[in-house]
């Protein structure tokens, strides 16, 4: 296999792309951040769909990580290593012999990055650097999970959506550290020939999402008898994708993606915040105006929108969860049924928001 570029020649216009071929067949993967929201959903996805793959989860178990997220998965398929991606000695112990690292671990919440950017610099930038160095030393394939926020935002009336060619223009401390980490990946690819891919995905929803994030916060507020909180004028647009579709896209990129390439992941799910909130209120039997307007997020990005045609065309990926109302209803149901999972984080999260006027 050509180390700079997988062997497959892509030629869609000739109709000769074999979408079913998997070019890279990992058996042992490390999933960083596998006890967080999206990482743990990916671990479940791999266990359920790829029986030959063993997963080592490397997770520091910060406030956002929860070992319960992967509890009950077979011990011979999933191992949890509690540790920091910035710990080079630990990486030296677990990276040799693995086939790939799929890197989800991050400080992921914009509001936290505005209150205190330091952990974002450390985990998102230095942590990525440590993983890249470990991959370089041990010749390990690396997939980097990033965000559409690196592209900044779009106006509400802009007909454009983000593509792989959109220039980087991050707005928040969070998104600027993610952008920096993407740049490190590109440099390590070009300079050292590392076998990498990058994916930039839009807003995820689904089970196991921390109660600090928009959708779980509003659902659990209602379950607690607290009014939902809407920032600014409520017209900011996010492009929602179910987290299981994010997982299938990452798997497709890991196994079939061309080295050195970036793929945008999105499911054509643009909605403004007030419409999403109205859907939650209606789904939970509340009046449409039963919420509080609160202070806006400083530097709040107006709109994100993903054009995922490269991923669909080259790798044959498509989302399964195309009915947002149905996906939201099952997410509401999941939070209703799993109060013991979210309850311990609820009070402190709301106290933090309250102190910020949100």
**Positions marked active-site:** 148-149, 174
CB of 124 to ligand DAU, least distance (A): 10
Q: Rounded CA gap, 67 and 82, in Å?
A: 9
CA–CA separation, 23 vs 258, rounded Å? 9
Query: Within 52-91, which residues bind ligand DAU (CB under 6 A)?
Result: none
Q: Is 319 a residue that touches ligand NAD (CB under 6 A)?
A: no
Q: What is the closest distance, in whole angstroms, from the C-beta atom of residue 38 to ligand NAD in the complex? A: 3
Assess 261 for contact with ligand DAU (CB under 6 A). Answer: no
Binding mask 291-310 for ligand DAU (x = CB under 6 A): ------x------x------
d(Cα 116, Cα 110) in Å, to the nearest integer? 10
CB 50 to ligand DAU: min, Å: 25
Element (H, E) at 344: helix 339-355
Residues in region 222-281 near ligand NAD by CB under 6 A: none
The residue (of 6 and 246) whose beta carbon lies closer to ligand NAD is: 246
Beta strands in the chain (DSSP E): 28-32, 54-59, 78-82, 100-103, 141-147, 196-201, 204-205, 229-231, 237-239, 241-242, 261-265, 270-272, 292-294
Between strands 204-205 and 196-201, the pairing is unpaired
Check binding of 149 to ligand DAU (CB under 6 A). yes
DSSP state of 4: S
Judged by CB under 6 A, does residue 231 bind ligand DAU? yes
Contacts of 199 (CB under 8 A, 6+ apart): 143, 144, 145, 146, 249, 250, 253, 262, 263, 264, 265
Site string for ligand NAD, 125-144 (x = CB under 6 A): --x-----------------
User: Does the protein bind ligand DAU through residue 143 (CB under 6 A)?
Assistant: no
Task: Assess 206 for contact with ligand NAD (CB under 6 A).
Answer: no
Residue 76 CB, shortest distance to ligand DAU, in Å, is 32
Contact residues for ligand NAD, defined by CB under 6 A: 32-33, 35-39, 59-62, 64-65, 84-86, 104-106, 108, 123, 127, 145, 147, 178, 201, 203-204, 210
């Amino acid at each position: 296999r050509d180390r700079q570029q997988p062997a497959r020649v892509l030629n869609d216009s000739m109709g000769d792309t074999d979408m079913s071929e998997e070019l890279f067949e990992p058996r042992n993967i490390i999933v960083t951040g596998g006890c967080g929201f999206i990482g743990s959903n990916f671990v479940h996805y791999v266990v359920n769909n790829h029986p030959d793959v063993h997963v080592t989860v490397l997770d520091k178990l910060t406030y956002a990580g929860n070992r319960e997220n992967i509890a009950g998965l077979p011990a011979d398929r999933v191992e949890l290593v509690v540790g920091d991606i910035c710990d080079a000695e630990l990486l030296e112990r677990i990276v040799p012999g693995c086939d790939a690292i799929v890197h989800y671990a991050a400080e992921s919440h914009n509001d936290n990055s505005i209150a205190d950017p330091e952990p974002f610099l450390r985990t998102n930038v230095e942590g990525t650097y440590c993983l890249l160095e470990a991959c370089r030393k041990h010749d390990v394939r690396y997939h980097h999970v990033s965000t559409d926020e690196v592209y900044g935002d779009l106006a509400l009336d802009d007909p454009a959506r983000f593509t792989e060619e959109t220039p980087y223009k991050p707005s928040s401390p969070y998104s600027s550290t993610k952008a920096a980490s993407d740049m490190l990946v590109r440099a390590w690819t070009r300079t050292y020939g590392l076998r990498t891919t990058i994916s930039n995905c839009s807003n995820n929803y689904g089970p196991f999402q921390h109660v600090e994030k928009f959708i779980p916060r509003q659902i659990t507020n209602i379950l607690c008898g607290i009014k939902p909180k809407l920032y600014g004028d409520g017209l900011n647009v996010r492009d929602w994708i179910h987290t299981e579709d994010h997982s299938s896209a990452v798997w497709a990129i890991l196994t079939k993606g061309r080295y050195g390439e970036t793929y945008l992941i999105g499911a054509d799910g643009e909605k403004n915040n007030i419409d999403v909130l109205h859907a939650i209120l209606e789904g939970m039997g509340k009046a449409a105006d039963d919420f509080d307007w609160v202070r806006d997020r400083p530097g709040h990005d107006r709109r994100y929108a993903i054009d995922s045609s490269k991923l669909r065309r080259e790798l044959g990926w498509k989302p399964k969860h195309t009915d947002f109302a149905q996906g939201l209803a099952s997410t509401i149901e999941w939070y209703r049924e799993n109060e013991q999972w979210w309850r311990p984080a609820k009070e402190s999260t709301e106290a933090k928001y309250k102190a910020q006027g949100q």
